Amino acid sequence: MIQNASKIYQEYGILELIPRIVKRSILTIFDMNSAIWHVRWLYLNEVKIEASIPVTMHFFEFNKTLDWIKRQNKPWMINKNEEAVAKREEHYWPHITYNGMIIGYIKCGFNDVFINDFKKIIKFPPNVAFIYDTFTLKEFRCRRVASHLINETCGFLKTRGFTKVMCHIPEGNIASENAYSNAGFTKLKKIRWLRIFGLKILTANPSHL
């Protein structure tokens, strides 16, 4: 931490270092995030969504999806706790390809799921799945790829005996809201997570929704 502060000071000066120190100090005391939880009941009418380009889903290649994520070298895409729980519970991490190239993925859990926003494991009831990350490459957005990816995953989950799929979307993420709405998801409830002096608070338990 000291080395990092020294580097910031040398490169940007004291006017950049002080705000960063203040922000980091505040985060050690207080942190908060919120998201809208959504649900899709799989026993209701099926939804048909086709991407505007020919794509292929791959549901049983967890390790290939994981390797691709790691090659993107984007820390926010992967979390060690999330990965460990996903492997232990044998979660589904499907990916979608175009001309043989991976262009997106979706992380779908059940039973125990490590939710990074909450920094903890949430245990979901039987037959309930939870989508905790969805991503498509920028150049393939606005082609219904994300909605197709979500919808096909829901269809796959139905064949595995699941009756309900949940997800959570940060407020203001219009693109994700549209993608999930197109795939048949409806809003349930806003849930806030707070950390104050080490005390972690959830305003509602998502597994009880």
Q: Could you tell me the pTM of the whole model? A: 0.84
User: Are the beta carbons of 123 and 85 closer than 8 angstroms?
Assistant: no
CA atoms of 119 and 136, how far apart (whole Å) = 24
Please list the rounded mean pLDDT of every run of 10 residues in the chain (209 residues): 45 48 47 89 90 97 98 94 98 98 98 93 97 96 96 97 96 93 95 78 88
The four Cα atoms 171, 97, 130, 50 give a dihedral, to 10 degrees, of: 70
The domain segmentation of the chain, as residue ranges, is: 33-208
Give residue-wise pLDDT tens across range 1-56.
Answer: 444 544 433 555 555 534 444 445 444 555 778 899 999 999 987 889 999 999 99
Tell me how far apart the 2 most distant CA atoms of the chain are, in Å: 60
Q: Residue 168 CB: number of other CB atoms within 10 A?
A: 21
Instruction: Give start and end residues of each alpha helix (H) in the chain.
Output: 2-12, 14-29, 62-71, 80-89, 145-159, 174-182
The CATH superfamily assigned to 33-208 is: Gcn5-related N-acetyltransferase (GNAT) (3.40.630.30)
Who's near 119: CB < 8 A, 6+ residues apart? 195, 200
Tokens of 157: 């989950």
